[in-house]
Amino acid sequence: MSVESKTPRQSAVESRYILMPHQANQYGTAFGGVIVAWIDMVAAMSAQRHCGLEVVTASIDSLHFKEPVYVGEHVILKASVNYVGRTSMEVGVRVLRENPLTGQQSVATTAHLTFVALDRDKRPAEVPALRPETEDEKRRHENAKCRTQARKDLRKRLKPSLE
């Protein structure tokens, strides 16, 4: 099946939250699991926008907590497809923390997730090719290509387990 290509911009998703006390630990900073749930949600939406199909999370390949997010701060999540294979997509997510009074922002968390598109029978389905246009999109695409190859190489080198 031939599928028309799409740009990363066509599937980009941005979402905002405010960190509430019930989403924080005793130090007033976000529970990591709350941030991860939000990351998975916006990444899935981006993958769905790219392929127009149901998607499932195959892996979270990297997750880096760079700065804490405090109760009352705004949390901005930006997701876009960085790379696609035949049935899978790598989505990058950048999480910003924003002071609601000053507007000052900084990167709190970054992540890369892999999703698989599913057809009506819940089998992997072909996804549209990715057509990066800007220099930033091209850089992210090349970096994602390296991560994809590294994941394949690692799978070959690891000994089978009883997982």
The per-residue pLDDT for 162 is: 59
How far apart are alpha carbons 101 and 54 in whole angstroms?
38
Q: Could you tell me the sign of the dihedral formed by the alpha carbons of 107, 149, 81, 9, in that order?
A: positive
- Sequence-distant (6+) residues with CB within 8 A of 88 are 58, 114, 115, 116, 117, 124, 127
The per-residue pLDDT for 14 is: 98
User: Is residue 52 assigned to a domain?
Assistant: yes
The per-residue pLDDT for 1 is: 42
The per-residue pLDDT for 163 is: 59
Q: What is the CATH number of the domain that holds 150?
A: 3.10.129.10
The per-residue pLDDT for 152 is: 86
- CA-wise closest residue to 97 among 19, 20, 34, 13: 19
List per-residue pLDDT tens for the chain, 163 residues long. Answer: 446 899 999 999 999 999 999 999 999 999 999 999 999 999 999 999 999 999 999 999 899 999 999 999 999 999 999 999 999 999 999 999 999 999 999 999 999 999 999 999 999 999 999 999 999 999 999 999 999 999 888 888 887 765 5
The per-residue pLDDT for 140 is: 95
User: Is residue 29 assigned to a domain?
Assistant: yes
User: Is residue 2 assigned to a domain?
Assistant: no
User: Is residue 163 assigned to a domain?
Assistant: no
The per-residue pLDDT for 154 is: 86
- CA-wise closest residue to 112 among 69, 74, 150: 150
The whole domain housing 59 covers: 8-157
Q: Could you tell me the sign of the dihedral formed by the alpha carbons of 36, 38, 112, 102, in that order?
A: negative
User: Is residue 98 assigned to a domain?
Assistant: yes
Torsion angles phi and psi, residue 42, rounded to 5: -70, -35
What is the number of structural domains in the chain? 1
User: Is residue 103 assigned to a domain?
Assistant: yes
pTM of the model: 0.92
The per-residue pLDDT for 51 is: 97
The per-residue pLDDT for 11 is: 95
User: Is residue 162 assigned to a domain?
Assistant: no
The per-residue pLDDT for 159 is: 74
User: Is residue 71 assigned to a domain?
Assistant: yes
